[in-house]
Amino acid sequence: MPTAARDAILAWYDATGRELAFRATADPYAVLVSELMAQQTQAVRAAEAWTGWMARWPTVVALAEAPVADVLRAWAGLGYNRRALSLHRAAHAIVADHGGVVPADVATLVTLPGVGPYTARAVAAIAFRVPVGAVDTNVRRVLGRIVAGGPEAFTAAEMQALADAVVPPDRPDAWTHALMDLGARLCRPARPRCADCPVVACCKYAAADRLTGDAAATSARSPRATWRPEPPFPSTRRWLRGRIMARARDAEDGAWVAYPEAIGEHPAHAVREAVMTLAAEGLLEARDRDGGPEARLPS
């Protein structure tokens, strides 16, 4: 990637970057919380939840000492409850194995529960200003399009090498946020807003035949992917798991909740299976009764 393109992205971010609450801090624990919250959750929603979370558990020690049931209740609305459990377990590991200090290097960060390669690099870059590239779907798409016309031109290892190579050594934190904003706001999977992109002049995706002339100016209205309807949300296992967890959250501390009947489009046997799976994952305590399973948040 040309240095001029990198500078243009940073200048665009400096002028238009989203003002999200968690971007105002470089505290490693706070950054770790924000990164786990923002996985598969809209950044604005994650920022709102992050503010309340940090007020309640301002340190990694405070989180490690919190009852897991309280942590799961506080995660309501963020989805993928396993992330809450992983964050709680990561806090325990940081306190037990690292003296309550979030590790700074990627190799150690990835050993924490729930922390994969992307999250480890994001925390290292944002909190410790280590010049590493955090690669998720957004970043893969942005860099792949700019450099080669699309991310399919790179293997995972090649993309990681590219992401590491283009990080500005003096601003890895801002660069991480900038690529995320670019992917979320302009360089979208479908209907990318190429005409508004700060690097349209040197982007190989924008230079391709499909985005020449009038197409480049109207790319915001030109779909790039074939849309296929998704199954109705209530029919999914994720929806069912969310309803089961919501009932457990709403119960009084320690109270068992019965799940004897169908929930939405899911018959009783599917509900039983989902409850037991959630228990096996550590998200619930469950007991199987003749009339149906009962469950509660872990104590």
Which CATH number does the domain housing residue 154 bear? 1.10.340.30
Residue 222 binned pLDDT confidence (cut-offs 50, 70, 90) = very low
221 in a structural domain: no
- Sign, Cα dihedral of 284, 83, 154, 218: positive
166 and 62 within one domain: yes
253 and 111 within one domain: no
The answer to whether the CB of 65 falls within 8 A of the CB of 21 is: no
254 and 175 within one domain: no
104 in a structural domain: yes
137 and 28 within one domain: yes
Number of C-beta neighbours around residue 176 at 10 A: 23
Give 294's strand partners. 258, 287
Task: Please give the pLDDT value at position 235.
Answer: 82
Mean pLDDT of 176-205: 94
pLDDT at 211 over 50: no
pLDDT at 85 over 70: yes
50 in a structural domain: yes
The tokens for 217 are: 């100016």
Question: Which residues does the annotation mark as catalytic?
Answer: 35
263 and 172 within one domain: no
244 and 175 within one domain: no
193 in a structural domain: no
pLDDT at 29 over 90: yes
Is 134 exposed, middle or buried (CB count within 10 Å of its CB: 0-12, 13-18, 19+)?
buried
Residue 32 binned pLDDT confidence (cut-offs 50, 70, 90) = very high
pLDDT at 27 over 90: yes
Segments forming the whole domain that contains residue 270: 233-296
243 and 164 within one domain: no
Task: Please give the pLDDT value at position 216.
Answer: 44
Please identify, among 164, 179, 194, the residue that sits at the C-terminal boundary of a domain. Answer: 179
222 in a structural domain: no
The answer to whether the CB of 30 falls within 8 A of the CB of 55 is: no
Helices then strands, counting H and E runs in the chain, come out as 15, 3
Q: How far apart are CA 125 and CA 264, in angstroms?
A: 43
Task: Please give the pLDDT value at position 252.
Answer: 83
Count how many domains the chain has: 2
243 and 144 within one domain: no
Please identify, among 179, 201, 221, the residue that sits at the C-terminal boundary of a domain. Answer: 179
99 and 16 within one domain: yes
245 and 171 within one domain: no
* Model pTM score: 0.84
154 and 66 within one domain: yes
Please identify, among 135, 151, 179, the residue that sits at the C-terminal boundary of a domain. Answer: 179
The tokens for 188 are: 């979208």
56 in a structural domain: yes
90 in a structural domain: yes
pLDDT > 90: what percent of the chain? Answer: 80
Q: How far apart are CA 279 and CA 172, in angstroms?
A: 40
Q: How far apart are CA 143 and CA 136, in angstroms?
A: 11
First to last CA, the chain: 51
21 in a structural domain: yes
Mean of all residue pLDDT scores within the chain: 90
Mean pLDDT of 43-68: 95
